[in-house]
Amino acid sequence: MARRRKGDPVSGWICLDKPLEMGSTQAVSAVRRLFNAQKAGHAGTLDPLATGVLPVALGEATKTVPMMMDAEKSYRFTIAWGASTTTLDREGEVTTRSDVRPRREEVETVLPRFIGRIQQVPPAFSAIKVDGERAYDLARDGEAFELKPREVVIHEAEVMDQPDPDHVVIEIDCGKGTYVRSLVRDIAAALGAEAHVAELRRLAVGPFLSGESITLDKLADLVHRGALSEALLPVETALDDIPELAVTDEDAFRLRQGRSVVLLPRQVEQLRPRLGATRAVSAMTGGRLVALCEMRAGHLSPTRVFNL
């Protein structure tokens, strides 16, 4: 007999505004407790010293988390000039100091070097595995190791402000795997300066935007008012760039059983211009997500089935 999961069968996404000094896992646990949800997960880790958008998946939405791993992201961060640290942010110990304080115009001059496809060495204090161990564990133990450069993509980068000679504020739009701490290290090196990340806020993860995010305090208030559902976004929010196709109840039944369905010629023509490289399609019926499918040779084959 299958073991019954504890909690309620809640499904959907929460666009959480993660607070400062809270880990992503802690934040997910807090959301899960508020909803008394059976399952929870997140799309894209945020360091404790970072704030902003942390998409939290509940219930059936956890099946769409892999679709969010390649999502574009946006960040706003503040560079503090004058000192480099072990962690490349204000949490680490100072390793090198400098009196160099680049002007805004100097930062704007070097920034284009970091736009496009670039090679970036991840921070030593990162979750990347080295011989089966996390890099941050090795770094904390003082062990010497080398991380190889990785290709990342930065679509846009712009200086937003220079509140004083010691700080400059930048916003970027980037692809997966981009480390802001490494970017700050490299910008400083290009300017002959020492620097670290003083503040970091994630503004967007794919369709999840900072302006639409909600804090844990506001979620707790919704609990007291019995209105938690107001913050819950549909499971298909994470599939916003995947074309939808309405299917019949009969086809929905077949898809839920893991069986393929044959599409009508007009359905194929309707979908073909909107298909991406994965040929993924969201099958819907009655406004509900039935399955994430792959379209091949006029057939729709389910790859993930949803119980909504």
Q: Would residue 47 show up in a list of annotated catalytic residues for this protein?
A: yes
Evaluated on CA atoms 237, 242, 248, 254, the torsion sign reads negative
Q: Is 192 left (phi over 0), alpha (psi -120 to 50) or beta?
A: left
Of 17, 47, 173, 186, which one is the catalytic site residue?
A: 47
Contacts of 226 (CB under 8 A, 6+ apart): none
Question: Pick from 36, 33, 35, 52: which is nearest to 44 by CA?
Answer: 52
Distances (CA, A) of 280 to 155, 236, 260, 297: 25, 13, 14, 13
Q: Are 71 and 44 contacting, i.e. CB atoms less than 8 angstroms apart?
A: yes
Query: Would you say 214 and 15 are in contact if contact means Cβ atoms under 8 Å apart?
Result: yes
- Are 255 and 295 in contact by the 8 Å Cβ rule? The answer is no
**DSSP 8-state class, residue 201:** E
Query: H or E element: which one contains 253?
Result: helix 249-256
Residues, the chain: 308
Ranges assigned E (strand) in 128-174: 129-130, 133-134, 150-164, 167-174
Residues designated as active site: 47
